[in-house]
Amino acid sequence: MNALRRRGLGWAAVAAVVALVLAGCGGGGGAGSAGNASGGAALSGNDINPVDPARLRNGGDFLWPIDSLPPQFNFNQVDGTAAGNRAIIGAMLPSIFRGDAKGVLQPDPNYLTSAEVTGTNPQVVTYAINPKAVWSDGRPLDWTDFDAQFTALNGTNPAYQVAGTTGYSDIATVAPGANPQEVVVTFKHNFADWRALFSPLYPKSTNSDPNAFNTGWVGRPQAISAGPFRFDSVDQTAKRLTLVRNDKWWGAPPKLDRIIYVALDPAAQPEAFANGSLSFVDIGPSVSAFQRAQQVPGAVIRTSNGPNYRHITFNGAPGAILSDPALRLAIMRGIDREVITRSQIGPIIPNAEPLGNHIYVQGLEGYQDNSGVVAYDPQKAKSELDALGWRQQGSVRVKDGKPLVIRDVIPSATPVSEAEAKIVQQQLAAIGVQVDIQTVPTDNFFSQYVNVGNFDITHFSWLGTQTPISSSSGIYRTGDGVEQNYGRIGNQKINDLLNQANAELDPAKQRALANELDQEIWNVGHSLLLYQRPDAVAVRNDVANFGAFGFADVDYTKIGFTR
């Protein structure tokens, strides 16, 4: 329902169309911080109508809405990080660790019989692969799949256009152990969030060649699978992608016959759910979707604490109008985040507050509000703009003959982004900043605008992970590659703190470093956090083991319909 992107490692992610969503490149699972070295446990569980799969009807089609068909189905490639792709690949490929309802990462027994730190100084992790685990072409999963993914994602070969290198760049070697199903990973540097690595795991055929990595999954998934479902077909005209049961799957058989992903503008999804064309709809922060779902006979709304959040990314690249951090901070002080939060999610979460931390979401140990540097103060914002030479001339400030006009790029058919942009436009006009809202097609919002820095400010959601520090690294680090730092904003202090926090194995010390890191992210005016995105999902009342997962990962084998 909104533009979503993943954050960082593995299943890290963004939400934009009721608000687009991205996942950050970093961690395993796909929720909040884990109750391990990565952070604390979530405050609450989830709301998915848990039912023993033996009591469910065998078969059926599950109609899963996504904002658009992904252009790239390699989730580790720079163009593959959309939330819709995560939902598809999660059913097809291994996630060797899975987050539970508290966000704690545990080995998935379908893929691993054990995984543990077997050495320190240097750090060594040994994985024992389930001997039953096979790719759908019949080849067993083995250490070479791990080695190929490390080779592709460690950043040493720029021909691989990767979404992020965090964690993989800390590995020295991947080698076989006592047999091909034992994997020994030796690190160059301590990496606390090692559980986030190798999820999703792609076959070595994808990772052994840059061309296969960059283009082999463009337009459609490959036929190879090692999950409960496999790719069947994609209809670009009807905007549908179908997965069917994987007959080579060795685990508990899935209850569903098919998962059909339906690409539909987020604004149209609530009505499609109401008329029976979808099995669920992600309400997220959309009040109108929430109210519509309440009217649908036979529907229930499931809610829980969620790890995902809305924000505004600023473009600070050299030559951009917002390249000066002092200007970015002054503009941020002219935006009232409380007004945006109350207007957008107040009817769903009456006491919601703006989010104050780029690393930890509310409800996780380690969270503290560090946003005081951008506290709403329009008078201070005006004074700072004056001091920077941006003088009021009529309704707009001007400096050296150039008006202070910023372009806010948002995806089409995204009511949440549109509403946020209009509020920002009105608030900044009061301090002499003109905001021009540019609405672009949802299908290329990321590829042609966000990913390439074609914006001054832009709105979408980040999907949280169980390993928020490592999954944040690609968003806030600066260096040779952009990764997911789309605004090109950062400094060496941020890079150093990321390195220190990712290497710190003591959870309390790691949390302290993470908050020092967050404070510096605020200080440089990287991005303006808005609010934690409600985890609210409307589903048919006969749907089981699905709904508001909160900090947990989806078990695709258990989704089904009651008898």
Same domain, 157 and 298: yes
Looking at residue 216, which CATH number applies to its domain?
3.40.190.10
Could you tell me if 94 and 200 are in contact, meaning their C-beta atoms sit under 8 angstroms apart? yes
Lowest pLDDT segment from 25-39, 121-135, 261-275, 544-558: 25-39
Could you tell me if 23 and 13 are in contact, meaning their C-beta atoms sit under 8 angstroms apart? yes
In this prediction, residues 477-504 reach a mean pLDDT of 92
Is residue 492 domain-resident? yes
Is residue 353 domain-resident? yes
Could you tell me if 65 and 493 are in contact, meaning their C-beta atoms sit under 8 angstroms apart? no
User: Which of 268, 303, 338 is where one domain is finished?
Assistant: 303
Same domain, 284 and 366: no
3-state secondary structure of 173: strand
10: pLDDT strictly greater than 80: no
| pLDDT score of 147 | 98
The Cα–Cα gap between 357 and 340 comes to 17
The Cα–Cα gap between 478 and 318 comes to 13
The Cα–Cα gap between 294 and 1 comes to 16
- Report the half-sphere exposure of 233 (CA within 13 A, side-chain side): 7
Same domain, 396 and 266: no
Number of domains into which the chain is organized: 2
Amino acid code (one letter) for 404: L
Is residue 555 domain-resident? no
pLDDT band at 2; cut points 50, 70, 90: low
265: pLDDT strictly greater than 70: yes
User: Which of 303, 320, 355 is where one domain is finished?
Assistant: 303
pLDDT band at 18; cut points 50, 70, 90: very low
| pLDDT score of 22 | 53
- Dihedral sign of CA atoms 330, 334, 337, 338 in order: positive
Could you tell me if 92 and 227 are in contact, meaning their C-beta atoms sit under 8 angstroms apart? yes
Q: 464 vs 336, which has greater pLDDT?
A: 336
- Dihedral sign of CA atoms 456, 442, 18, 12 in order: negative
Same domain, 56 and 191: yes
| pLDDT score of 29 | 32
| pLDDT score of 5 | 55
| pLDDT score of 437 | 98
Is residue 546 domain-resident? no
The fraction of the chain above a pLDDT of 70, given in percent, is 92
Cα–chain center distance at 296: 29
Lowest pLDDT segment from 120-129, 243-252, 547-556: 547-556
Give the ranges where 337-442 is alpha helix by DSSP (H). Answer: 337-345, 378-387, 415-429
Lowest pLDDT segment from 76-90, 107-121, 253-267: 76-90
Same domain, 332 and 266: no
Is residue 502 domain-resident? yes
Question: Other C-beta atoms within 10 Å of 295: how many?
Answer: 9
CB contact set of 426 (below 8 Å; sequence gap of 6+): none
Same domain, 288 and 220: yes
Looking at residue 338, which CATH number applies to its domain?
3.10.105.10
In this prediction, residues 404-433 reach a mean pLDDT of 96
pLDDT band at 1; cut points 50, 70, 90: very low
- Nearest C-alpha neighbor of 457 from the set 403, 413, 417: 417
Lowest pLDDT segment from 80-84, 117-121, 234-238: 80-84
Backbone angles phi, psi at 544, to 5 degrees: -120, 155
| pLDDT score of 17 | 32
| pLDDT score of 44 | 54
The pTM of the full predicted model, rounded to 2 decimals, is 0.77
Max avg pLDDT among 396-405, 458-467, 469-478, 503-512:
396-405
Is residue 530 domain-resident? yes
The Cα–Cα gap between 485 and 489 comes to 7
Same domain, 261 and 403: no
424: pLDDT strictly greater than 60: yes
Name the DSSP class of 168. Answer: G
Same domain, 22 and 108: yes
User: Which of 238, 270, 303 is where one domain is finished?
Assistant: 303
Backbone angles phi, psi at 265, to 5 degrees: -50, 135
Q: Quick one: the chain helix, strand, coil %, rounded to 5?
A: 25, 25, 45
Could you tell me if 451 and 79 are in contact, meaning their C-beta atoms sit under 8 angstroms apart? yes
| pLDDT score of 3 | 60
Tracing tokens 């979503």 back to the chain, one arrives at 4
152: pLDDT strictly greater than 70: yes
| pLDDT score of 36 | 31
83: pLDDT strictly greater than 90: no
- Nearest C-alpha neighbor of 280 from the set 307, 304, 298, 305: 298
Kind plus residue range of the DSSP H or E element containing 522: helix 507-523
- Dihedral sign of CA atoms 249, 253, 254, 258 in order: positive
Amino acid code (one letter) for 457: I
| pLDDT score of 137 | 96
Could you tell me if 298 and 273 are in contact, meaning their C-beta atoms sit under 8 angstroms apart? no
226: pLDDT strictly greater than 70: yes
418: pLDDT strictly greater than 60: yes
The Cα–Cα gap between 308 and 418 comes to 19
Question: Whole domain around residue 458: which residue ranges?
Answer: 309-537
CB contact set of 63 (below 8 Å; sequence gap of 6+): 260, 262, 277, 278, 279
183: pLDDT strictly greater than 50: yes
Is residue 29 domain-resident? yes
List residues bridging with 458 in a β-sheet: 313, 409
Backbone angles phi, psi at 356, to 5 degrees: -120, 15
| pLDDT score of 159 | 97
Could you tell me if 442 and 414 are in contact, meaning their C-beta atoms sit under 8 angstroms apart? yes
Same domain, 398 and 526: yes
Same domain, 293 and 315: no
Could you tell me if 299 and 347 are in contact, meaning their C-beta atoms sit under 8 angstroms apart? no
Is residue 364 domain-resident? yes
The Cα–Cα gap between 80 and 220 comes to 11
The Cα–Cα gap between 552 and 228 comes to 18
Q: What is the mean pLDDT of the chain?
A: 90
Same domain, 231 and 328: no
Same domain, 278 and 382: no
